[in-house]
Chain A
Amino acid sequence: DGGITQSPKYLFRKEGQNVTLSCEQNLNHDAMYWYRQDPGQGLRLIYYSQIVNDFQKGDIAEGYSVSREKKESFPLTVTSAQKNPTAFYLCASSTRQGFETQYFGPGTRLLVL
């Protein structure tokens, strides 16, 4: 079955630690996205990538980094510079033809110890 997988489901971060969230898709989509979800604030775009080896900052990129070395994968690193990382993180993907639906993964909940 085609879809988007995110791992881990829960992730705990210690003070000063970088952590990486995984996102993999087998939908053959060119575009991938990372969103942060906080209660009552909807989804906010962190980074997006329209093609391999290229990515752009979204609305709240500070304290985060990404890479796009393969079409299928778009990992997100939450760095120690992100002072309030506790949130639900959602990865999505879409084609780039015309305007297409974004499909979402199941999410990763990041908690700070």
Chain B
Amino acid sequence: AQSVTQLGSHVSVSEGALVLLRCNYSSSVPPYLFWYVQYPNQGLQLLLKYTSAATLVKGINGFEAEFKKSETSFHLTKPSAHMSDAAEYFCAVRTDAGNMLTFGGGTRLMVKP
């Protein structure tokens, strides 16, 4: 069975500071991993995905994530936070049933001026 744990339901950073959102996974098959962003009252938008190619994945809006098999982690980072980054972020892993995804509980990112 697959599972995803996002450490920290709320993260607050100052504008211009490093953003680090944590995601740990468990998977019985080689994992495909995703980060999605959700702005208030909207659907989810794909930020980036790992599909067994390069372990450092670059996404939209300056975000990137590094796949670390030994740590079963796929943490999301951005060097410098902008006010527009305030949103909820979800990590997800492919299930072994094919195209289904298992989502983490989400992390709400707050950016202080």
Asked whether B105 lies within 8 Å of A40 as measured between CB atoms, the reply is: yes
Name which of B13-21, B36-44, B76-84 contacts chain A: B36-44
**B contact residues around A106 at 8 Å (CB):** 42-43
Prevailing SS type, chain B contact patch:
loop
- Docked complex: A58-76 residues within 8 A CB-CB of B: 58
| Interface size, chain B (Cβ < 8 Å) | 22
B9 at the interface (CB under 8 A from A): yes
- Closest Cβ of chain A: how far from B34's Cβ, in Å? 7
Q: How far is the CA of A42 from the CA of B89 in the complex (A)?
A: 10
Q: Are A101 and B44 in contact (CB under 8 A)?
A: no
Distance in Å from the Cβ of B111 to the closest Cβ of chain A?
20
Q: B residues near A, CB below 8 A?
A: 9, 32, 34, 36, 41-46, 49, 51, 90, 94, 98-101, 103-106
11 A–B pairs (Cβ distance < 8 Å), ordered by A:
A6-B43, A33-B100, A41-B105, A43-B90, A43-B103, A45-B101, A50-B98, A50-B99, A99-B32, A102-B99, A106-B42
